[in-house]
Amino acid sequence: MAYYSGPNGELWIDGNVAGQVRNWSFATTVALMDTTALGQTDGTSTYGLRNTAGSCSLFYWQDGANKGGDCSTLIQHVVQGRTNVAVQGVAAAPRHVNLRLKVDDGSTNGRYIRGEVLITTATMSMAQGEIFSAEIGFQFIGAPVEATL
């Protein structure tokens, strides 16, 4: 039996392997709906809506001046400048992105979860002695397209 760690993980953005990824994670939660009827002595439940969301941390890295990297690509899906400099409060709508969170288990395709996501947060951090990086939060739009975990 094998264990997997950082070297086995990959993050794919719109079909391309992302470079300089520090980590990624996701969680799926399911709401429960109460089905307890009058006269019952114990509560009963059934599954309700499911939600999958996650986060990733990327180092801000690029091949050269004016060449955006993977971190920049994700940030630009949510952080938008004004569409008209003179008009406050009007910018392009955020765009969805296709993400694949993969564990390379030695098989042809590995194990992964893939789907369309909305970037919900983009937090960038610059500090003395640290590498410029971004924390990205995302939520899947509906159910994942594929999940082979």
Concatenating the DSSP letter of every residue in 111-133 gives EEEEEEEEEEEEEEE--TTS--E
CA 114 to chain centre: 10
Cβ–Cβ under 8 Å, residues 125 and 134: yes
| Phi/psi-derived region of residue 103, left when phi > 0, alpha when psi is between -120 and 50, beta in every other case | beta
Query: What is the spatial distance between Cα 28 and Cα 12, in angstroms, rounded to a whole number?
Result: 19
Given a contact cutoff of 8 angstroms between Cβ atoms, the answer to whether 14 and 52 are in contact is no
Nearest to 98 by CA among 138, 136, 67, 62: 138
Residue 102, pLDDT score = 94
Helix (H, G, I), strand (E, B) or coil at 4: coil
Give the pairing of strands 111-125 and 133-140: antiparallel
CA dihedral (120, 58, 71, 24) positive or negative: negative
pTM above 0.95, yes or no: no
pLDDT of residue 143: 96
Determine the pLDDT at residue 133.
87
Instruction: State the pLDDT at residue 1.
Output: 63
Mean pLDDT by 10 residues, the chain (149 residues): 85 87 95 97 97 92 66 80 88 90 92 95 90 92 95
Report d(CA 37, CA 73) in Å as an integer: 51
Instruction: State the pLDDT at residue 38.
Output: 97
Q: What local confidence, expressed as pLDDT, does residue 131 receive?
A: 87
pLDDT at position 39, please? 96
Provide the token pair at 105.
Answer: 């288990």
